[in-house]
Structure 1
Amino acid sequence: MSSITQLSPRLLWQFFDTLCSIPHPSGHEAAVRQWITGWAQERGLAVMQDTIGNLIISKAATPGMEKRQGVILQAHMDMVPQANADTDHDFTTDPIQPYIDGDWVRARGTTLGADNGIGLAACLAVLADDKVPHGPLEVLLTVDEESGMTGAFGLEPGILRGSILLNTDSEQDGDVYMGCAGGVDVNIELPYQAESVPAQHHAMRLNIKGLRGGHSGINIHQGRASANKLLAELLNDIAEHPAIRLSEVSGGTLRNAIAREASALLTLPDESANLLNELVAARQQQYRQEFNGIDDFISLELVAAELPDRVMSTSLQQKLSAALLACPHGVMAMSREMEGVVQSSTNLGVIGTGPEHIHVQCLVRSLSNIGRDRVAAITSAVFRLAGARCRLDGAYPGWQPNPQSAIMRAVLNTHEELFGVVPQVKVIHAGLECGLFKATYPHWDMVSFGPTIQGAHSPDERVHIEAVSRFWQLLVRVLRQIPEA
């Protein structure tokens, strides 16, 4: 147990501490699912695992609240696995190490998993605390939200009885969400055309690191640097000098995280070494000025490397450099209906080199299916011009706002009663599972709220301690005030 177990509300933080001790990155939720199942069964709660791996835990209404509308309390079980370059951490076996840092809780060198671990801990705390009054309650815990929303896609109709869904996956205290963006993955494969390494060449690895990264939806409008886009500019510089050859490219690790690091393996003759150093030094100076106050620790370095056994053909090197440079990244359009809300965006998330192909993955987000599909088509067209194969995968709809939502009004009123402030109603530029739930359960009245989490999807992730307390107070009061059916 860590020091966070002494924080308030203690039961919630104790559950979160336990979750931190059980590895649960996306696609590896079996251990945490097994622990939750065993814990719920020990308490005599009804537990069901559906065919896709989601858990549904049911708890009868507390005495006197049997006639209230049924509520589905929802969180996802997986977390984004991101670690600093100097942190040796296996997310499939090693526990997260949370610690208190002033008013915040962080993790040592890795993502914390407060997204959505705090919401998950809150769900379990409601189940565990018999002093929390509520009507008929179902807790829906989904799998693989971060890497594909597999659990939400696979949720079957008819297995949940409630009519109100409280999603706990929002990340700003004082905000209540009534809509979210949809998305689609653009998966790109460019055939690797290989040539022998020219004679008298040596190898250098270009590393770009020190960037903040962040959530590719929530942080996309903040102008943070993408290591992949910086690399694309440098590769375009290098493509103007045919003596410098490209062997490998890599950057980013997740399509839903702004790339924090990227690298390229280059070969060159001795006479081109000064030129390459000048190109890199000039770009580093430019980037440190350009992103001053946003990304203050951008580092570009060249280090000696082992000579590879192949380089890309000159044609491929030029096409790849041009395609990565032209690849859309960032905000594509702002909403006309909601001031300050991003309508459409895209993230050049992952670049990798395999034996036969160069792989690129982008995540497109939009409040509308039309906007989503348009940006995906533009991205695909850029790479098809370079000779790549492009595939669109995992398209999911957004959650369209419902201004007449009764549960939304209830949350707003409850927040004002508790804290004296009416929260802001917002639409989040991220892929909450609510859009998929609505397609399967169109009658559900839904709302999303949560505590302040900053730096999600990066090792800078932190959750505000006092905001967690307010989130818990709001959740408990809302459950108590659900009206009768």
Structure 2
Amino acid sequence: MSELSQLSPKTLWNIFAKICAIPHPSYHEEELATHIMEWAAKQGIPAERDQVGNILLRKPATPGMEKRKPVVLQAHLDMVPQKNNGTVHDFTKDPIRPYIDNGWVKARGTTLGADNGIGMASALAVLGDDSVEHGPLEVLLTMTEEAGMDGAFGLQPNWLQGEILINTDSETEGEIYMGCAGGVDFITTQPLQREALQAGFTTLTLTLKGLKGGHSGADIHLGLGNANKLMARFLCVHGEEFGVRLLDLNGGTLRNAIPREAIAHLAVPTEKLAGFKTAVAAFLNTVTFALAAVEKNIEFVVEATANDGKALTKESQGRFLGLLNATPNGVLRMSDDVKGVVETSLNVGVVTMNENEAQIICLVRSLIDSGKDYVVSMLTSLGELAGAKTTPKGGYPGWKPDPTSPIMAQVREVYQGLFNKTPNIMVIHAGLECGLFKKPYPDMDMVSIGPTITGPHSPDEQVHIGSVELYWQLLTTLLKAIPERA
């Protein structure tokens, strides 16, 4: 914490350090929410919460700026909990441990929570720093964005008074976002049949690990390895060859994070064990070569383990592995309208298995509703072919770009004036809450900005220190430049 206090802007970094010190993964934001409410009370800042837990803080205009258009600064309270293999960390109890490394702030073995903790810290810093000039100001902090946008779904009309909303959840300095993809979770549940193993098998644990992982929207175009898909690929190719019987398979932890690890418990005929291990080594060489440009640390490890559980029947195993192997993953289509941006994708994020059923949880994203609907239709058809139950869940709309947006034009003008260069006006494939805000507040003018964050949703997450200072200059200058109401 003291290390971050050396950085500028000091108020922002001190607040971010405090955010890191309070556990706040999705569905566990209450301790942080309570801290913010207590902080606001000490600052004399009015604060309230709505029925879903969102926090709204208000600050009057700087004297002489009362007639400016009222602005909402918006961030989300939760962070994505991901850790490196071997890192001992309980995200519900343990603080994040940030440190400075060559111009970046990182965390020790876990996600940092700069997504969206830096944006949250910037909004609170504006409230706490009386030297920042602004018109009527609100700060909206939403609940559980990363696991389903619960706070945005629950936002009610007539609570916010602002006419302009500045979302702080973007992750590239020098880019202004005016639109984003919509999404929907897709859950495929397959019943399983099991039977006792006969004699002559050796039980093993097969672990695929060392993948980078990442954000299933912002990083989906990078071609990173997906542990669930790679495990299914291996078992489909070599399972029948070596008479492998599957006892259990689990991979990934979040539907919006590219899975970094998958673990299968297997039984292999003892006489085929040596050949099976050779196949594992050969497959590792294959994927290491194929993914060499993006994955440097892939491991595929075989360990002998005791397991007295029942194996899937051959028919049940074939249906499940065939379904997982056939499920599409990654970029499905690039946008024709926004060059270089993904239109439609999906992430095979989580695979779980218990005694009676297996679940495959995907996150589908698309800039257009028809793209999202097509992927849902495709996954439904696959599930039907495999005898599985399929459930689309938690769909949320995209944020339709408005090229005539006054606040977008003003951000561009302020950025150019500050830094003597033109920012990129972008549409992002990741999901932002702005599309959901448009339902209760259809006339609100919205834009999204932020500093440079790489590796979000993975333990490689880091935020560029210099970009935070540039973002702060942009944000505070923009607030000062907001025009008067017509």
TM-score w.r.t. length of structure 1: 0.99
In the other structure, the counterpart of 2:123 is: 123
**Letter of the structure 2 residue corresponding to residue 189 of structure 1:** T
Q: Which deviates the most, 293-302 or 468-477?
A: 293-302
SS of residue paired to 1:145: coil
Q: Could you tell me which residue of structure 1 aligns to residue 82 of structure 2?
A: 82
Match in the other structure for 2:331: 331
Alignment of 1:46-445 (within 5 A): 46-241=46-241, 243-445=243-445
2:195–2:313 CA contact under 8 A, matched in 1: yes
Deviation at 1:275, TM superposition (A): 2.3
Offset of residue 151 of structure 1: 0.3
Q: Give the letter for the 1:123 counterpart.
A: A
Contact 1:179 1:428 in 2 (8 A): yes
| SS of residue matched to 1:146 | coil
Residue in structure 2 matched with residue 32 of structure 1 by the alignment: 32
| Structure 1 position 23 matched with structure 2 position 23 | yes
Q: 1:2 to 1:316 in 2, by over 3 A?
A: farther
- Once the two structures are TM-superposed, the CA of residue 242 in structure 1 deviates from its matched residue by 6.5
The SS at the match of 2:349 is: strand
Paired with 2:279 and 2:387, the residues of 1 have a C-alpha distance of 28
**Bigger mean CA offset, 23-32 vs 243-252:** 243-252
Q: Determine helix, strand or coil for the equivalent of 2:146.
A: helix
Partner of 1:460: 460
Structure 2: give runs of 5+ residues left out of the alignment: none
Report the secondary structure of 2:392's partner residue.
strand
Q: Is the 8 A contact 1:2 1:98 kept in 2?
A: no
SS in 2 for 1:362: strand
Q: Could you tell which deviates more after superposition, 274-283 or 33-42?
A: 274-283
Verify the 8 A CA contact 2:398 2:431 in the aligned structure 1.
yes
Question: Which residue matches 2:10?
Answer: 10
- Structure 1 residue 237, shift from structure 2 partner: 1.6
CA distance in 2, matches of 1:224, 1:279: 22
Shift of 1:110: 0.1
Q: Partners of 1:42 and 1:334 in 2: how far apart?
A: 49
1:2–1:99 CA contact under 8 A, matched in 2 = no
Moved over 4 A (4+): none
The answer as to whether partners of 2:242 and 2:276 remain within 8 angstroms in 1 is no
Tell me which amino acid in the other structure corresponds to 2:61: A
Measure the CA separation in 2 of the matches of 1:293 and 1:334.
21
Structure 2: how far apart are the matches of 1:185 and 1:426? 25
Q: Secondary structure at the match of 2:199?
A: coil
Q: Are the aligned partners of 2:248 and 2:266 in contact in 1 as well (CA < 8 Å)?
A: yes
Q: Residues 246 and 312 of structure 1 are in contact (CA less than 8 Å); yes or no, is this contact kept in structure 2?
A: yes
Preserved CA contact (<8 Å) 2:242 2:268: no
SS of 2:438's equivalent?
helix
Query: What is the CA distance between 1:380 and its match in structure 2?
Result: 2.4
| 1:447-469 Cα deviation digits (max 9, x unpaired) | 00000000000000000000000
Q: Point out the more displaced range, 348-357 or 417-426.
A: 348-357
Provide structure 1 residue ranges, at least 5 long, that are not aligned to the other structure. none
Looking at structure 1, the residues matched to 350 and 82 of structure 2 have their Cα atoms a distance apart, in angstroms, of: 13
Count of residues in Structure 1 that have an aligned counterpart in Structure 2: 485
* Superposed CA offset, 1:135-180 (max 9, x none): 1111000010000000000000111111100000000010000000
Measured after TM superposition, the shift of residue 357 of structure 1 is: 1.2
> How many Å apart are 1:200 and its aligned residue?
2.2
For the Cα contact (< 8 Å) 2:324–2:360, is it kept in 1?
A: no
What is the letter of the counterpart of residue 21 of structure 1? A
Do the aligned partners of 1:227 and 1:262 also contact (CA within 8 Å) in 2? yes
CA distance in 2 between counterparts of 1:222 and 1:269 reads 38
CA distance in 2, matches of 1:293, 1:401: 33
Higher alpha-carbon deviation: 238-247 or 156-165: 238-247
Instruction: Return the alpha-carbon distance in structure 1 between the equivalents of residues 354 and 28 of structure 2.
Output: 24
Equivalent residues of 2:242, 2:272 under 8 A apart: no
Of 237-246 and 416-425, deviating more is 237-246
Q: Which moved more, 1:348-357 or 1:160-169?
A: 348-357
Does structure 2 retain, via aligned residues, the 8 Å contact 1:115–1:456? yes
